[in-house]
Amino acid sequence: MGVISLRLKDRDLKRLDELSKLECKDRSTAARELLEYGWEFLMFRNYKEGKLSLEGLAKKLGISMSEAIDRLSELGIEAPIEFEDYLKGFKVFNL
C-alpha cells in the first residue's frame, strides 16, 4: 500500500472529521472510502454520458458486467440492454 501526503482546506478537513465521527471510523479509513465513492461516481457519470461502455465501466469498477447492470439499476440509470436481450442471455446461462 502506498502512502500519500496532501494538504486539505480547513473545510475539507472538518468534513472528513465529521464523516469519521459519523461513521465511527478513523480519518484515514474515511478518506479512503471517500476516494472510492468518488471514483465510482465519476465512472458512473462517464458511463451515463457515453464516455464508457458497460464493459469499460465494469472493468474500471472491478466488477462483472451483471454486477455493473445491477449497480446502474440501483442508481436509477437504465440498463443498456433490452428485455429480450436479457431473456436470451438468461437462456444461454441456463443451458
Place of cell 436481450: 85
Give the pLDDT mean for 89-94. 67
pTM, entire model: 0.74
Output the pLDDT for position 50.
86
Helix/strand/coil percent split, the chain, to 5: 70, 0, 30
Give me the phi and psi of 7, to 5 degrees please.
-95, 135
- Record the cell numbers describing residue 18, joined without a space: 465529521
Output the pLDDT for position 1.
84
Output the pLDDT for position 34.
95
Contacts of 35 (CB under 8 A, 6+ apart): none
Place of cell 457515453: 50
pLDDT tens, residue by residue, 23-57: 999 999 999 999 999 999 999 999 988 899 889 99
Instruction: With H, G, I as helix, E, B as strand and everything else as coil, classify residue 24.
Output: coil
